[in-house]
Amino acid sequence: MMPELPPGEDSSQRKPRLGFLLCLMLPFAFAYFLSHIFRTVNAVIAPDLMETIGLSAADLGLLTSTFMLAFALAQLPLGVLLDLFGPRRVEATLLCLAVLGGVLFAAADNVIILAMARALMGLGVAACLMAALKAMTADLPASWLMTAHCLLVAVGGLGAIMATAPAEFLVRLMGWRAVFLMLAGATAIAAIVIFVLIKDPPGTHRRTTWRREVVGLRRALSHRFFLGVGPAVGLIQGGFMAIQTLWAGPWLYAVAGLDRTSVGRYLLLMAAGMVAGYLANGFLGARVSKWGVNPIMVAIGGSALLLCSLCTIIAMGGHAPLSLWIVYGFFGTSAPMCFALIGREVPLQYVGRVSTAMNFLVFAAAFAFQWGIGAIIKLWSSGPAGESPLLAYQVAFSLALIVQLLGWIWLVRTALAMQRAAIVADQGP
C-alpha cells in the first residue's frame, strides 16, 4: 500500500516525501500515458482503417470521435463517483472497460464494431486525469499542485509521442490489430497496480444519497470559476485535441503530400513539443504565482500563440514547416493550465465535480470538432466544382479556428473579471 505522509503537518506547507510522491503519481501517470495512446493512435492508423475497412473521411471522423463522446458523457457522473468512492476503485474499474475496448477494436471488421470499441476505450480511460487530480488535491500541498499537474500531463504527452512514429513502426511490424491487443494488456496491468497501491483519500465511502450528490453537482456547475473558465477551455482545448489526435495526420497526408514515415515523424515531434510545453508551463506556472500573477494569464498568452500558429499553418497549406507544427504542439498545452487552478478556486468537496465537468466540455467540444471537420472535408471535397483537398482542409480548419477564437475571447473576459474581483477584495469594505 502507499506510504502515508507524516501526521501533524500543515497540509498546505508540507513537502511530500519522494516515496509517497512516486507511489501516488506513477500508477496514475502510467494509466494517463496509456490513455493518450488510445486517444491519439488513430492519426497514425487512419490509412490502414480507410484501406482495410473502407472508411470515408466522414466515417473516420465519426468513428474516432466516438471516443471523445463516450469520454465526455462519462465526466459528469464521474465527478460524483470520484467524490463518493474515491479514485482507486473508480479508476481501476473503468480501465477494465478500456481493456475490453482494445480487444474488441483488434477483432473488429466493420465500422459499427470499431465505433463501439472506441466508445468503450473512451469510457474506460475517462477517469485517468481526473482521478489523479482528485488524489493529488487530497494528498499533496497546494504549493505542489501546479507542478504535479504539469508533470502528470507531460507523461501523458509522452503517450502521445508513443502513438506517433513508434506506433507507426509497430503497426508496420505486427499490424494495427496486434498493437491494440498490446495496449489492452498494458491497461490491465495499470488497473491492477492502481487498485493495489493507491489509498482512498479521507471522506471516501461516506454515507450519503444520490439526491444530495446531485444537489452538490448543481452547486459545482454554478460555481463562478466553472462558468467563467470551463466553456473557454472546452473550445480552445477541444479544437486542439481534434486536430492533434486525428486531423493533423490526414492533413499531412492529403495536403502536404508526405509519406507515412514522414507523417509519423511530424506527429512525433509535435507531441514532443507538447511534452516540452507541459514542462514549461509547470515551471512557469509555479513561478508566476510567487510573482503575484494569476496563472490564467499564462494560459491566455499561450492560447493566443496556439491560435496564431494554427492560422499560419492554414495560410501556408502544405508548405508549413515542421517547426511550425512543433510550436503548435507546444502551445496546445496552455489552456489545460486552468485545471490546476481548480484546487485553489473551488472548495475541496466540489473539486472532483468541477474538474470532470470542465473535462466534459473539453471532450464534448473535441467530439464536435472531430466529426465536424470530417463532415466539412467530405462535403467540400465532393462539391460540384471538385475542390482540392487543400481548400477543403483549409475551410474546415478555419472554421475550427474561429470557434476557438471565441473561446479565447471568453477566457480573456473571465480573467479580467477575476482581476477586478481580486482588486475589490484587497481594498476591503
3-class SS of residue 132:
helix
Q: Which of 231, 250, 240 is nearest to 357 (CA)?
A: 231
Contacts of 285 (CB under 8 A, 6+ apart): 146, 147, 150, 295, 298, 337, 340
Compute the average pLDDT of residues 362-376: 92
Question: Model confidence over 289-346: pLDDT tens digits?
Answer: 677 777 889 899 999 999 999 999 999 999 999 999 999 999 999 998 888 788 778 8
How far, in Å, CA of 69 to CA of 74, rounded? Answer: 9
User: Which domains does the chain carry?
Assistant: 20-201+215-427 (1.20.1250.20)
Q: How many Å apart are CA 175 and CA 238, to the nearest integer?
A: 30
Instruction: Give residue 183's Cα distance to chain centre.
Output: 18
The answer to whether residues 104 and 118 touch, using CB atoms and an 8 Å cutoff, is: no
The predicted-structure confidence for 185-230, as pLDDT tens digits, reads as follows 999 999 999 999 888 766 555 566 667 777 877 888 888 899 999 9
Residue 130 scores a pLDDT above 90: no
Hey, which of 54-68, 217-231, 267-281, 318-332 has the most confident mean pLDDT? Answer: 318-332
State the average pLDDT for the chain: 85
Give the global pTM. 0.80
- What pLDDT, in 10s, does the model give residues 138-168? 766 666 666 777 778 888 889 989 998 899 8
- What average pLDDT does range 375-401 have in this prediction? 81
Largest pairwise CA distance in the chain? 73
Query: Rounded to 5 degrees, what are φ and ψ at 315?
Result: -65, -35
Rounded percentage of the chain residues whose pLDDT exceeds 90: 48
Q: At CA 297, angle to CA 235 and CA 239, rounded to 5?
A: 15
Are 174 and 64 in contact by the 8 Å Cβ rule? The answer is no
